[in-house]
Amino acid sequence: MKKARAFLFLFCLLFFSGLCRSMIVYAQEEESDEDIEEEIPVDEYEGVAPSLYSSGEQIFSFTLGAVIPLFYTNSDGLASNGTNVNVGGGGYLSYSYFLAPRFFVGGEAGGAFAGTIGENMLYIVPFGVRAGYQFTFSIKNLRFEIPVALSIGGATQKYLETDYFGLFLKPTVSGFFRLNPDWSFGLNVGWLLVPQWTKESRKNMTGHFLEVSLSARFHF
């Protein structure tokens, strides 16, 4: 009986001493972890995309905005101060692939519409390739990107029963705020040129439209 009590007393003593030792070691590890966390410098750009891109980065853009008719030109210059077309709207989907940190290529497709003073509708559906150069800068922790692009391709134009397919050309300047590594949001200003070339050069006309739009870009 005495041996059993002595054994039980020894077991309890060893158990509680081991428990206390474990608690002391755990507390010391906790303090060490806190010290390490305090010593690690906080990255003030954490979660923000780098100012320069890597080759192979890609972007999808979703764009909506206004299409403002300006004037027509022909082989003699300015054909008309007015266009008989009201302000319309339009939207685009575009894709960009970065060949270098600032240079990108891709494509876009979309559509635009505008009413006329005769209460009819003019439709323009452009699609083509695009290339551009992107400037980047930052203010404190805020990142901004300014792509300058040129789009060229074909455009279907429809007015009443008349259909025409021809060239379109559009230089664009944009400004984007990079919200995080995945998304950026910005404003675009583009000059849309849609020529109508016929067999008789004197009848050739080129429509000039100003596009002002908002875009959301997804980066991957």
Q: What does the pLDDT read at residue 54? A: 86
Tokens coding 142: 């805020």
Residues 112 and 127 sit within 8 Å (Cβ to Cβ) = no
| pLDDT for the residue numbered 65 | 97
Domains of the chain: 58-219 (2.40.160.20)
pLDDT, residue 50, reads 55
pTM: 0.72
Query: Which three-class secondary structure state does DSSP give residue 54?
Result: coil
Residue pLDDT tens, the chain, 220 long: 444 444 444 444 444 454 445 444 444 555 444 444 444 344 444 444 555 688 899 999 999 999 999 988 887 777 665 568 899 999 999 999 999 999 999 999 999 999 888 888 999 999 999 999 999 989 888 999 999 999 999 999 998 888 889 999 999 999 999 999 999 999 999 999 999 887 777 778 888 999 999 999 999 9
Q: What is the pLDDT of residue 23?
A: 47
Tell me which amino acid residue 133 is.
Y
- Contact of 94 with 71, CB cutoff 8 Å: no
Cβ neighbours of residue 111 under 8 Å, at least 6 residues apart?
90, 91, 123, 124, 125, 126
**Which pLDDT value is given to residue 135?**
95
With beta carbons less than 8 A apart as the criterion, state whether 205 and 74 touch: yes
| pLDDT recorded at residue 125 | 95
Report the pLDDT value the prediction gives residue 79, as an integer from 0 to 100.
67
Looking at residue 85, its pLDDT comes to 86
| Residue 163: its H or E element | strand 162-178
| CA distance linking residue 62 with residue 204, whole number of Å | 33
